[in-house]
A = this chain, B = another copy of it.
Amino acid sequence: MSIGVNSSIAMKKKQNNNYHYAVILAGGSGTRLWPISRELYPKQLLALTGNKTLIQETFSRIEKIVPKENIYIVTNRQFTTDILLQLKSSGFSREQLIVETVQKNTAPAIALAAEVIQEKNKHALMLVCPADHLITNDREFKKSVLDAFARAEDGKLLTLGIAPDSPSTEYGYIKPKGKINYGTPTSVECFVEKPPKDIAEAYIKEGYLWNAGIFVWSVKAFRAEVKKYLPKVAYALSFKDTNKEKFAKYFSAISPVSIDVGLLEKSKKVEVIKVKFAWKDIGSWKSLYELLEKDKSGNVLNDDALTVDCQNSLVYGSSKRATVAIGISDIIVVDTEDAVLVVHKNETHKIKSAYATLKAENKTQYKEHKTVFRPWGSYTVLEEGVGYKVKKITVNPHEKSSLQMHYKRAEHWVVIQGTAKATVGRDTLYYDAHQTIDIPVGVEHRIENPNDEVLEIIEVQSGAYLGEDDIVRLDDVYGRNI
């Protein structure tokens, strides 16, 4: 029976690669694409070039190579909800998240992931890949990673090198030892940091490759190198399962260091594979503009931009606003519900300075968007002032908030679409559009959407303190801190 044959082939394939693992690095907090990216909503969670977000694209690229359940994601606590939401339909589970309690740059993060993987399989080979890079040829990517897996069996640490298509000053470079051919692992002469333009041009002539930050090795070989070159990291990790306090203490004492500087530049086992797939790490609005398709006037526009006589500009309007650009050239305009950026295309590196000012002034715009996603839906802050906050809350079909209570605020709900099943104190009642629900201070409550249609409510909070941290969760189906 053909079904039986296919399923047994699939089984065999899976057995063949079940010691292949992957680690997606998703801890980065990007400021360079502000105001689309925010501290709590970095590049990996954004859809920059298509419908899927970068982490969704990365996951779907890797699950064609590595068994889905062998893919881990290293991130920090504040991104976990969004990552789980975005990968929900891919079958990614909470157990595959490795949450860093302190951020120590890539070397300790990867070493921690290697530790988790070796507990599953001492013979594991692991792929390490950033969550926020653009790769446009999945087939070539797979071929390169499989080449690297093969070589990694011999104890080598493989790094993937990209043939540059321009003298980029935004990437680090790798110098192979002698001539390098596509697909043939070659020793590395040296790694170099982001160069100025003239030096980048010289690098390209001399055959340097872009360092894509994509690595493949066996956990065994890698852990040996960590022990050798990052002994403090190895020491901290040795307590991971035996002594949580010591682990936390020693891990938090580690100096942050990148995998390149901390290990790859030192190890004698490193090789580079020159790969054929197209790769970009979008490091600025300028590089995003360059990557995207332009109209006859050289503009990149979205549907919400209203422009008159503009040239060579990127204008992203907001659907909630009127975004109008007239007669500009080489300007990037990015409008969002709560912030607008107008920057000359060659000055995008200065965004970090404006971002730092917003952060220093504690403006919400550096940190989060007006709409915040939650496991059960989303909320948008419509207005806030002394003593009150107004939110629009969307509860997805058959989802529910935690059973919660606030010490310092009362809440008033008006159902505007769908049906709400609301628990307030001991009562659970159903409310349709135009009905209102009052939740006094200190009374436990929960909202649930019992239907297939989206539920929308307007919430007016009133009270002396309205911070998101005034929440006591008594029960939560999403396992959040109760």
Contact = CB atoms under 8 A, between A and B. Distances in A.
A354 B324 contact: yes
A102 to B, nearest CB: 29
A460 B324 CA distance: 30
A190 interface: no
Contact of A388 (B344, B365, B458): B458
A98 to B, nearest CB: 33
Contact of A327 (B343, B383, B414, B462): B343
Contacts of A200: none
A386 interface: yes
Interface string A289-316: 0000000000000000010110000010
A276 to B, nearest CB: 37
Contact of A344 (B327, B335, B348, B365): B327
A357 B357 CA distance: 36
Contact of A416 (B323, B343, B382, B388): B388
B354 A342 contact: no
A140 interface: no
A197 interface: no
Contacts of A436: 412, 436, 438
A322 B434 contact: no
B383 A392 contact: yes
Contacts of A309: 347, 350
Contacts of A14: none
Contact of A339 (B324, B341, B412): B324
A331 interface: yes
A362 B146 CA distance: 56
A333 B324 contact: no
A120 interface: no
B335 A351 contact: no
Contact of A322 (B331, B343, B348, B365): B365
A51 interface: no
A287 interface: no
A137 interface: no
B308 A354 contact: yes
Interface in A461-481: 462-463
Given A322-B365, A350-B326, A462 B335 contact: no
Contacts of A417: 385-388
Interface string A395-423: 00000000000000010101011000000
Interface in A413-470: 414, 416-417, 433-434, 436, 438, 456, 458, 460, 462-463
A327 B351 CA distance: 10
Interface of A: 35, 306, 308-309, 315, 320-329, 331, 333, 335, 338-344, 346-348, 350-351, 353-354, 357-358, 363, 365, 380, 382-383, 385-388, 390, 392, 410, 412, 414, 416-417, 433-434, 436, 438, 456, 458, 460, 462-463
Closest 9 CB pairs of A and B: A327-B347, A388-B416, A322-B339, A327-B344, A322-B365, A326-B343, A414-B460, A434-B462, A382-B382
28 contacts: A308-B353, A309-B350, A322-B338, A322-B340, A322-B365, A324-B343, A324-B351, A325-B341, A326-B343, A326-B344, A326-B351, A326-B354, A327-B343, A327-B347, A327-B350, A335-B340, A382-B382, A382-B383, A383-B392, A383-B458, A385-B416, A385-B417, A385-B456, A387-B433, A390-B458, A416-B462, A433-B462, A458-B460
